[in-house]
Chains A and B, each alone.
Chain A
Amino acid sequence: MMNHELKMIPAREPPVMAVGVLAWIRNNLFASTLSIVATLLIVYGLFLSIPPLVQWALVDATWFGADSNACNREGACWAFVTARLDQFIYGFYPAEHQWRPNLFFAQLAVLVLWLSLKWTPGKQWVLGYSLLLMPFVSWFLLYGDLPGLEKVETHQWGGLMLTLLLALCGMIASLPFGVLLALGRRSNMPVIRSLCTAYIELWRGVPLITVLFMASVMLPLFVPEEVVFDKLLRALIGIILFQSAYMAEVVRGGLQAIPKGQFEAFNSLGLSYWQGMIMIILPQAMRLVIPGVVNTFIALFKDTSLVLVIGLFDLLAIIQAGLNDPAWLGNSVEGYLFAGFVFWIFCYGMSKYSQRLEQQLHQGR
């Protein structure tokens, strides 16, 4: 007999092994024989390596001291880092003027926060300041030679300050060149197109180190004898030449993503090439390429460490120099770990930021 009365089935709890912590552990750690073996091996490996590492780096470590002798040989000698921290940050910048680099750092922190937080107003003005004025303001702040600001020669600059300055200036200066090169590579004019392509492929095809050699050795030959570039400026020129080629490729990617209809629309409205590019195409393209720009910035930030080979003292070079100090021999591991840690914080932070931007872009479409 058909029973017309519908009997509702109440929702029941799932089996214990299907949800919750136990299920997660089973599915993610012990799913198969191979998985079990891998889990056990990794746990054993971590058990062997982590405790001694913690013991060395934290428990037995010496944090402060005047030289290597103050350090406990069983643990890490962080005293090397703490004793020279000033140098690692400011290079040989005179101590009484260190408020200037501090101001530079503070300015960067404010700008970065301002641009990355959601609720801050006037982002376009801040961005404009960062891209147009900030490099010059920073330069005059650090270099001085103005009334009230004493001159500090660039050979006294170094450490983290120099690393940041090189990366930022290289990046910001290469942006406009990159945009122009990208437009040139997409141009209808064959001569301009091939010139831009040749430039881009040339710099992308050679290692940065040869570019830096070129900038430091050949650049003085290229200009009249009276013109003297200082070492920092030469490195910066090399970096900009190199970086603008990479920037151009990133921007080109953005330009290619703009539909053809946008070009036709501004043409049919009677806007000229440059009007259309500046008001229609570039604003859209630049928004698309921000993640790519951040990624090339990360690459450049890491690459600034190469200035070591032409005798500038960026963060890595100054640590490397500190390792040869007779008072601090045998602390290379601590030095490199510190440098690695600082670079890692910056690069990892930026790569997370760029990933977040990329996700936002995908959601926005």
Chain B
Amino acid sequence: MTGPGAKGGPLLRASGITKFYGDRVGCRDIGFELWPGEVLAIVGESGSGKTTLLNCLATRVVPTAGVIEYRMRDGRMRDLHALSDAERRLLMRTDWGFVHQNPIDGLRMTVSAGGNVGERLMAVGERHYGHIRETATDWLGRVEIAADRVDDDPRSFSGGMRQRLQIARNLVTGPRLVFMDEPTGGLDVSVQARLLDLLRGLVADLGLSAIVVTHDLAVARLLSHRMLVMKGGEVIEEGLTDQVLDDPQAAYTQLLVSSILQV
């Protein structure tokens, strides 16, 4: 695990993130730092504000207040919501990934698996069909999809395959940060286990940083180094994942842990 000692400082720094929907609180006054190579889990029940927070961080929603800074590839920290549209969209399709809970939201369902993986490469200027196809096939292999499926579109894929394809599509440009919204939600338990295994391997191999939103403490346990526990739009507990899960301090966290980790 890469700790706060990593050179260059944090990859992402959020402070005072607050989002209101009218009078309703989405999330309130949230701050943390994410370091290179670190995986942060945001856990909580539905309605706790974790998805709102994720969308603010990924610049998909503009927060009502607060600042999110990100270390660009040139080493400078930039305020994400002050980036130009062009800079932000470039960031989103090169340096970031976003894995949706439902792969239909993150894939082009009528485009072949190869085209889905190759899109980001073409977006950044790759113009050699052979190379694109080779890279796509290679990535399909890394997410355990057989090479002969490269020309099939995701409509013929199972839920687990679709989710793995979405992951490959995101990772092909070598992003430094991946946002994941309930990446194993909606999958059968056995399929979930295989996907988690794969994700854990990829994150470690690539030295990725990730922010994972999940209501499933087992997912947080397997994937994350650190976690935030959210309730009612606020962070009520945070710390190293093992610590929080083994010795929860907040009553709500204790309840969550006791209700899930019996198994």
* B is bound to A: no
Interface residues of B (CB under 8 A from A): none
Interface residues of A (CB under 8 A from B): none
